[in-house]
Amino acid sequence: MTITITAFEKSPDRGRGLARDMRVRWALEEVGEPYEVRLLSFKEMKEPAHLALHPFGQIPTYEEDDLALFESGSIVFHIAERHTGLLPDDANARARAITWMFAALSTVEPPIIDRATVRIQERDQIWYEQRLSMVDERIRQRLTELSNRLGSAEWLEEAFSAGDLMMISVLLRLKDSEILQDYRNLSAYVARGEARPAYKRAFEAQLAVFTTASAG
């Protein structure tokens, strides 16, 4: 049975590759696995049919035969375990790659998401500048630590893995900010991820959805 994932019918990221279905698309492209996409409106995301797949009414979801998954990290991990190309064969290297997946989602991403929330929802508040400054400082601390660990290496470990896929997907949320630009090795790291053919295919597929929706 063909893999089916869900994605926004009209993505709030305006086709910039930031919606979380992008991570799943990229993983599937890396392992060469075909898939279909079911587009959902915001209304459909809160209806019983979708809530049966994702109890929090979000995207993406993943369906294959009798398996249904939600949460992009879990889905990417499942893909990486089922197919070659995203996790090393060596047990210790594999464990390290999985650890980087958790680090991306649990340690690096939260303050970055917080920054987006502050900029959208708190811009008119009197505490906005102070709050944003505090969040930016938290982000810089994490990026400094990550930058020190990456150093001049191409990837987080010896070869590209699901850990890099998740970390780059998180860092892309800062691509247009001065924060990421202050870390030359991390900016180059993100650019290497974007240059991968699998990433380009996934990005073009997600962008096409937004372009079509806008034209309609």
Per-residue pLDDT tens digits for 14-36:
778 889 999 999 999 999 999 99
When mean pLDDT is compared across 19-33, 46-60, 73-87, 117-131, the lowest value belongs to 117-131
Question: Which residue bears the tokens 């990433």?
Answer: 199
Candidates 190, 187, 151; CA nearest to 167 is: 190
Task: Kindly state the average pLDDT of the residues 108-132.
Answer: 87
Task: State percent of the chain over pLDDT 70.
Answer: 100
Quote helix, strand, coil % in the chain, to nearest 5. 60, 10, 30
User: How confident is the model over 177-197, as pLDDT tens digits?
Assistant: 889 999 999 999 999 999 999
CA 194 to the chain's CA centroid: 12
3-state secondary structure of 59: coil
pTM: predicted TM-score of the whole model, two decimal places: 0.94
Buried b (16+ CB within 10 A) or exposed e, 52-70: ebbeeebbbbbbbeeeebb
3-state secondary structure of 88: coil
Task: State percent of the chain over pLDDT 90.
Answer: 79
The pair of three-digit structure tokens given for residue 112, joined into one six-digit string: 């970055």
The per-residue pLDDT for 111 is 95
Candidates 201, 177, 197, 199; CA nearest to 187 is: 177
Cβ proximity of 83 and 33 under 8 Å: yes
pLDDT band (50, 70, 90) for residue 216: low
Is 168's pLDDT higher than 90?
A: yes
- Which amino acid is located at 184 in the chain? R
At 7, give phi and psi (nearest 5°): -150, 165
Is 102's pLDDT higher than 90?
A: yes
17 sits in the region (left: phi over 0; alpha: psi -120 to 50; else beta) called left
Instruction: Please give the mean pLDDT across all residues of the chain.
Output: 94
The pair of three-digit structure tokens given for residue 189, joined into one six-digit string: 């790291």
